Structure 1
């Protein structure tokens, strides 16, 4: 996603009970969500992905070249990846977030990224942060 100008974070929680695999923040404030699936069973077990749509401007599936892509909804984005790179084969439809929702997501993204960086610098501080988390 970096080649498209997006910074990413993993395992961001947009709302209680939801955790997206990858969230990307674009140069113009675009919010993309990418759900990574490793197998047919992994996809079949995912019952929450519809709930992610209201938290992003575009939604994508990321799979490897052997994944049966016919299982994936055709009205969603598709990224095929290997150990070295990935390619967007199909753009997810654009569904722009409302301004208030975008502000919330950009703030969540920033806080998530900052806490991850802080944990790298000061691993002992990680437990202290949970007391201040919303």
Structure 2
């Protein structure tokens, strides 16, 4: 994914990326900072990780279709990396497919709304420290790549 100004060409983004953009906009209105496609540990990549004003960490998985949801076998692995877990889907998604004990955000490319708050499961302090550091590192690296697109960063 290119980290250029996404507002210029939203049609170039995939449906899940458009959902992620709307989720990030909505969570920003609640004081959260978001990083898309963050890797909490090898083999997992969350669609949106949000860091809240009180240090809370939320993970949001964006699903653009029934097939996208049913093909995701890794989502339960994300639970141990966040204080709250949410699904983000558009208004046409069959929400009855989603587990009742998870959060729900209805979104589009321009915003969203939290329909159901995900249950809280507070991270252990050591895990929280690791995740905040990963969040900061990835956010700083992406900002640097925006300013210097020719930079060739080392792999994480």
Please give the TM-score of this superposition, normalised by the length of structure 1.
0.94
In the TM superposition, residue 123 of structure 1 has moved relative to its aligned partner by 1.3
1:68-99 superposed Cα distances (whole Å, 9 cap, x missing partner): 00000000000001233200000000000000
Q: How does 1:75-86 map to 2 (within 5 A)?
A: 75-86=101-112
1: CA distance, partners of 2:131 / 2:110: 29
1:102 is the counterpart of 2:128: yes
| Counterpart position of 1:129 | 154
- RMSD (CA atoms): 0.8
> How many equivalent pairs are there?
130
Unaligned ranges ≥5, structure 1: none
In the TM superposition, residue 129 of structure 1 has moved relative to its aligned partner by 2.6
In the TM superposition, residue 124 of structure 1 has moved relative to its aligned partner by 1.7
Between 1 and 2, higher relative CO (CA 8 Å, sep ≥ 6) is seen in 2
Q: How does 1:1-134 map to 2 (within 5 A)?
A: 1-125=27-151, 127-130=152-155, 133=156
1: CA distance, partners of 2:90 / 2:43: 27
Please give the TM-score of this superposition, normalised by the length of structure 2.
0.81
